[in-house]
Amino acid sequence: MNIEVSERLKQLPPYLFIEIDKARRAALAEGRDVINLGVGDPDQRTHQPIIDAMKKALDEGANHHYPFDAGVPQLRVEIAQWFKRRFQVDLDPSTEIHPLIGSKEGLAHFPLAVINPGDKVLLTDPAYPAYQAAVTFAGGKIQYLPLKASQGFLPRIQDIEEAKNPRAIIVCYPNNPVAAVANKQFYTDLVRVCTQKNIIIISDLAYSEVYYDGVKPPSILEVPGARDIAIEFHSFSKTYFMTGWRLGWACGNSQLVAALARVKSNMDSGVFNAIQYAGIAALRMDPAEIEDMRAVYQERRDAMINGCRAIGWKIDPPQAAFYVWARVPAKFPDSMTCAKAFLDQADIVLTPGVGFGRQGEGYVRMALTVPVERIHEAVGRMAKVLA
């Protein structure tokens, strides 16, 4: 039988990386020494106190059952305390915080809570591909806001002002893939225009703790009035090397949080309690450990940026997140050709920018998720490709 997939699946963009993926697998199968700068998944192991908390929680029979709707109450209390320390924002743990099976899960489900078929949603171009899928699954129509280097990779407030009847906007700063940050002034302007136009703000703060040079990215919830219209998504994945554990949270406007919770109660039955206890241990960790994480990425970032500069490839250093967003060197016509050449000639995997949207063309993304020695090795190989 020929299975017809749904219209919503057919509406998803074609998978652009098929050719690159094939070449990567072939390279690995041939036993070539591949340096993978393609994946946004930290290479480090989860911290031991988190693992220990999970082991302890596993032994408790009470944790073997369906989790509570809104999760282990103590986790929400810990999140509220963390939020207060980090952003000086008070959240009510009983109404303004909801745990997620990873923030991607919440981001994917949230449009189902507020978007009707045909509703317009503003997305940046480029963007994390999951947003587009989430909006499409909910039947929403997307209007793209281009992100340009000349504007610090922030959407123009004027473009939002002029958009016709958008229902929601999704922003992500620190950004994947472009690694830019938003300052509080941008969020203030965004809250102002979205309040005027009745636009729900969806903010993805997965990289809040991955920043450089001591400049902490703000939360949109720091802006007065944001709590009336915004929901923010947070993740344990990047901060605590917990990508495989699947834990995050949504917070902000209580009606938006409650609407998401209603969708979720019909889709999943919450986060495994033992993982929530692991999350509590993570939030209680010594901040020095998180400082170490930043130091590791900063060393890698500097090795990559300085190394590339030395071989004639000038790249603006990222301000946050563990990605380098680099203009395609002049010798290649586009990002796909560039990525293919690096793979074929240097066994280096990087991601063509066009995979994140049309405005991503002309760029490649490199993830700093390999040790600094491998970055030095990669730069040496790149020199030969660019020569």
Q: What are the residues whose beta carbons fall under 8 Å from the beta carbon of 128, sequence distance 6 or more?
A: 172, 176, 177, 204, 356
The one segment of 237-245, 289-297, 304-312, 330-338 that binds ligand PLP by CB under 6 A: 237-245
Decide if residue 297 touches ligand PLP (CB under 6 A). Answer: no
The DSSP call for residue 219 is P
Single-letter code of the amino acid located at 206:
A
Cα dihedral: 91, 93, 94, 100 (round 10) = 110
Residue closer to ligand PLP by CB (options 129, 197) is 129
Decide if residue 172 touches ligand PLP (CB under 6 A). Answer: yes
* Distance of alpha carbon 338 from alpha carbon 269, whole angstroms: 44
Taking the complex as a whole, how short is the minimal distance between the CB of residue 181 and ligand PLP, in angstroms? Answer: 13
**Residue 126, preceding peptide bond in cis (omega within 30° of 0):** yes
Residue closer to ligand PLP by CB (options 172, 190) is 172
Single-letter code of the amino acid located at 89:
V
Taking the complex as a whole, how short is the minimal distance between the CB of residue 133 and ligand PLP, in angstroms? Answer: 13
Is the CB of residue 73 less than 8 Å from the CB of residue 280?
A: no
* Interaction mask 32-71, ligand PLP, x per CB under 6 A: --------x-------------------------------
Decide if residue 128 touches ligand PLP (CB under 6 A). Answer: yes
Tokens of 320: 């946050």
Residue with tokens 């203030």, as numbered in its chain: 188
Distances from the Cα of 312 to the Cα of 36, 180, 220, 246, 325, angstroms: 22, 23, 38, 40, 16
Is the CB of residue 221 less than 8 Å from the CB of residue 251?
A: yes
* Distance of alpha carbon 304 from alpha carbon 372, whole angstroms: 8
Tokens of 70: 């809104």
**Residue 174, preceding peptide bond in cis (omega within 30° of 0):** yes
Helix (H, G, I), strand (E, B) or coil at 260: helix
The one segment of 233-241, 267-275, 297-305, 336-344 that binds ligand PLP by CB under 6 A: 233-241
Residue closer to ligand PLP by CB (options 235, 253) is 235
Taking the complex as a whole, how short is the minimal distance between the CB of residue 225 and ligand PLP, in angstroms? Answer: 24
The single residue among 219, 235, 298, 335 that binds ligand PLP, judged by CB under 6 A, is 235
Decide if residue 103 touches ligand PLP (CB under 6 A). Answer: yes
The single residue among 201, 206, 278, 350 that binds ligand PLP, judged by CB under 6 A, is 206
Residue closer to ligand PLP by CB (options 172, 370) is 172
Taking the complex as a whole, how short is the minimal distance between the CB of residue 238 and ligand PLP, in angstroms? Answer: 6
End-to-end alpha carbon distance in the chain: 52
* Pick from 162, 181, 161, 163: nearest CA to 171: 181
Contacts with ligand PLP by CB under 6 A: the residue count is: 14
Decide if residue 176 touches ligand PLP (CB under 6 A). Answer: yes
The single residue among 71, 248, 279, 357 that binds ligand PLP, judged by CB under 6 A, is 248
Residue closer to ligand PLP by CB (options 238, 294) is 238
Residue closer to ligand PLP by CB (options 100, 261) is 100
The count of other CB atoms within 10 Å of the CB of residue 349 is: 23
Decide if residue 204 touches ligand PLP (CB under 6 A). Answer: yes
Beta pairing, strands 351-352 & 348-349:
unpaired
Residue closer to ligand PLP by CB (options 24, 238) is 238
The single residue among 132, 136, 237, 369 that binds ligand PLP, judged by CB under 6 A, is 237
The one segment of 30-38, 132-140, 151-159, 231-239 that binds ligand PLP by CB under 6 A: 231-239
Decide if residue 104 touches ligand PLP (CB under 6 A). Answer: yes
Residue closer to ligand PLP by CB (options 109, 120) is 109
The one segment of 112-120, 147-155, 236-244, 379-387 that binds ligand PLP by CB under 6 A: 236-244
* Distance of alpha carbon 46 from alpha carbon 201, whole angstroms: 32
* Pick from 112, 37, 57, 108: nearest CA to 272: 57
User: What is the footprint of ligand PLP within residues 83-102 (CB under 6 A)?
Assistant: 102
Q: Shortest Cβ contact with ligand PLP: which residue?
A: 102
User: What's the order of all strands across the beta sheet hosting 363-367?
Assistant: 323-327, 363-367, 351-352
Task: Catalog residues that contact ligand PLP under the rule CB under 6 A.
Answer: 40, 102-104, 128, 172, 176, 204, 206, 235, 237-238, 243, 248
